[in-house]
Amino acid sequence: MKNYEGLTDEALALLYVDGDNKAFDELLSRTQEKLFTYIMFVVHDHDIADDIFQETFVKVIMKLQQGQYTDSGKFSFWLTRIAHNVIMDWYRAQRNDHIIEPTKDNDLSNLRGASVLDSYRESEIINEQILCDVKTMMNNLPAPQREVVYMRFYQQLSFKEIGELTGVSINTALGRMRYAIINLRRMAKEHHIDLALNER
């Protein structure tokens, strides 16, 4: 029996391309929890997340079999990009017009609010109740905004990486974060929730 333990995800993917189905089983077991958590966070519905997860892996299998993957050392990045595209297909069919969204020609290149965004990076100092409130409110954000918040704060990706993963410019990724913050603040105000950070 082959030992896959020491192999990278990339090596497993290439073994599967060469016909080793057990390599794919190992790849699936390694990546499924992280991928499902990401999908679930964005869509916030277990049944929809299941469907998206399954569709993502169907697309992964097809792309691998069609030779559309080459070992670039970023299998998880490639996998997340496919999941993102499936999520966006779902989102386009479920668009919610009741939340503030940027316009298509939105360009935040003149925005100099990096320090505001950096302050949100200090999420570790928010107390448990505020975190709980924020998570509840985030469930009401449109999928693209929820996704960028998840990638930034939970996966700790840079806006450049978020842009690459989601197929948008850095400015658009920043714009989605900005609108997410606007919407979170509006919801907090409507529900009288204090989002002030605790001082260390």
What are the residue ranges in the chain where pLDDT is below 50?
Answer: 97-98, 107-127, 197-200
pLDDT of residue 123: 42
CA separation for the pair 45, 140 (Å, rounded): 12
Tell me the two tokens of residue 191. Answer: 């529900």
Q: What is the 3-state secondary structure (H, E, C) of 86-108?
A: HHHHHHHHCCCCCCCCCCCCCCC
* Assigned CATH class of 114-190: mainly alpha
User: Which CATH architecture best describes the domain 9-93?
Assistant: Orthogonal Bundle (1.10)
pLDDT of residue 99: 56
pLDDT of residue 200: 41
Which backbone phi and psi does 163 adopt, to 5 degrees? -60, -45
Which residues contact residue 133 at a Cβ distance below 8 angstroms, ignoring those fewer than 6 apart?
Answer: 188, 191, 193, 195
* Residue range(s) in the chain whose domain bears CATH number 1.10.1740.10: 9-93
* Residue range(s) in the chain whose domain bears CATH number 1.10.10.10: 114-190
pTM of the model: 0.58
Cα dihedral angle (81, 87, 89, 82), rounded to 10 degrees?
Answer: 20
pLDDT of residue 66: 84
CA separation for the pair 126, 167 (Å, rounded): 31
